[in-house]
Amino acid sequence: MDFTIRYEPAPDEVARALRQGLKRQLVMVYRILPSVLVVAGLACIWADAVFLGVGMLVAAVVAPFVATRAIRRVATRQLAYMCVPTTIRVTSEGYECRTDQYSTTMQWSMFGQVVTTPEFWLFLVNRQPAAFLPKRAFNSEQQAELIDFLAARQNAGTS
């Protein structure tokens, strides 16, 4: 396998890929952190630290909204770097992504997990999104070859 494609990702496409990749990481912000804050807040109220307890309860409600806004701000800044003409080279050894601003080369062995969505292949390193390939950038033959290749790598990694 060795093919090179050139495409320009759309801002909404990159935003969806980032959102899907970050969704797994945000479980802590949206579920665990508020739960801990509620328990801690109730414990503070029970221990007569009412002001601190109420503050933690308010933080439990506000934290997910603040996190969402902060993530959107960071993602918006990243879009300027990612929504440019991009050349992707995919080989059996790895993945290379080049633009006028940056160049990234990663070996397949770096990716601990590949998540397949209807639009993308998301590549994770230590459960964090590291790269994505938009399926629309590849023709049907290339997509089929990638699907087979990634499935074989995943099966080899689990055996």
SS3 87: strand
Residue length of the chain: 159
Query: For residue 98, what are the β-bridge partners?
Result: 87, 103
Pick the CATH number of 2-8+84-158 from 2.40.50, 2.60.40, 2.30.29, 3.10.620: 2.30.29
pLDDT in tens, 39-50: 999 999 999 999
**Predicted structure pTM score:** 0.66
Backbone angles phi, psi at 155, to 5 degrees: -65, -40
pLDDT in tens, 86-142: 898 989 898 898 988 888 888 988 888 888 888 888 888 887 778 888 888 888 898
- In which residue ranges of the chain is CATH 2.30.29 found? 2-8+84-158
CA gap 108, 71 in Å, rounded: 28
CA gap 138, 84 in Å, rounded: 17
Backbone angles phi, psi at 118, to 5 degrees: -60, -30
Q: Which residue has the higher pLDDT, 70 or 52?
A: 52
Tracing tokens 């059996």 back to the chain, one arrives at 92
Which pLDDT belongs to residue 45? 92
